[in-house]
Amino acid sequence: MAAVEGDDSATTGGSTLGYALLSLLTRGPATGYQLTQQVKAPLGHFWTARHSQIYPELARLAAAGWVDSVEQAGPGPRAKKTYAVTPAGLAALRAWLVIPPTAQPRSEITLKAYAATSADPTAMAALYTDLADRSTRLLAEYEHDAARMRAVGQDDPTHPRFGNYAVLMMGVESQRAVHRWARWLASCLRTGRPAAYGETAD
């Protein structure tokens, strides 16, 4: 319930994780455990969080008045808490959404490519061949999910779960990009000579 008098939410400018949880809760009320499951897909392709990070963050959101919770008797020693977004929480989320993000991407596989010439070419080529294979599998999986979503009209921006579709489409684009790049790089390292894009047949 958290009936606080002073509005902390103005001073407490939430963390990115906090907004991620609010986004998940706009789909409907959930427990910390359920949020841990829901963050896995499709959001998990571009954002992850463990339960050990989620539970304290939910407590902070509740203290700020951005979510409230109802307690039921839980299976374990502690009570089970179901969280829901408050109007203040939704307002905070809406304000955050339209701020242009600045965070740089971090890609370990690209970092390894930077030092490609220091490694054994055969082993390195295998690494990028495996990556290309993995992206093929992921792409098939994502496109299958996307087709299912289109079938139920989730590609319509007025659908309440349109965001799931948008994230999935980013997954499709990303994996296509990774696939082309990894195939090209593997080809370069395998042959020891420059390869042009498109030269690497599928």
Partner DNA sequence: GCCCACATGTAATCAGTTACATGATTCT
Partner DNA sequence: AGAATCATGTAACTGATTACATGTGGGC
**What is the footprint of DNA within residues 43-72 (CB under 7 A)?**
48-53, 55-56, 58-59
Q: Shortest gap between Cβ of 59 and its own copies (angstroms)? A: 21
Tell me the C-alpha distance between 146 and 170, whole Å. 11
Q: Shortest gap between Cβ of 13 and DNA (angstroms)? A: 9
Contact 121, 192 (CB under 8 A): yes
Chain centroid to Cα 3, Å, comes to 32
Binding partner selected for residue 28 from DNA, its own copies, none, CB under the kind-specific 5 to 8 Å limit? none
Part of the chain binding its own copies (CB under 8 A), chosen from 7-15, 72-80, 137-145, 185-193? 185-193
| Buried/exposed code over 92-115 (b: 16+ C-beta within 10 A; e: otherwise) | bbeebeeeeeeeeeeeeeeeebee
* Binding characters for its own copies, 67-106, by CB under 8 A (x = yes): -----------------------x--xx-xxx-xxxxxxx
Collapse the DSSP code of 180 into the 3-class scheme (helix H, G, I; strand E, B; otherwise coil) and give the result.
Answer: helix
How many CA atoms within 13 Å lie on the side-chain side of 188?
Answer: 17
**What is the footprint of DNA within residues 19-38 (CB under 7 A)?**
31-34, 36-37
**Contact with its own copies (CB under 8 A): which of 9, 69, 86, 164?**
164
For residue 60 the two structure tokens come to 């902070």
Catalog residues that contact DNA under the rule CB under 7 A. Answer: 15-17, 31-34, 36-37, 48-53, 55-56, 58-59, 74-82, 104, 106
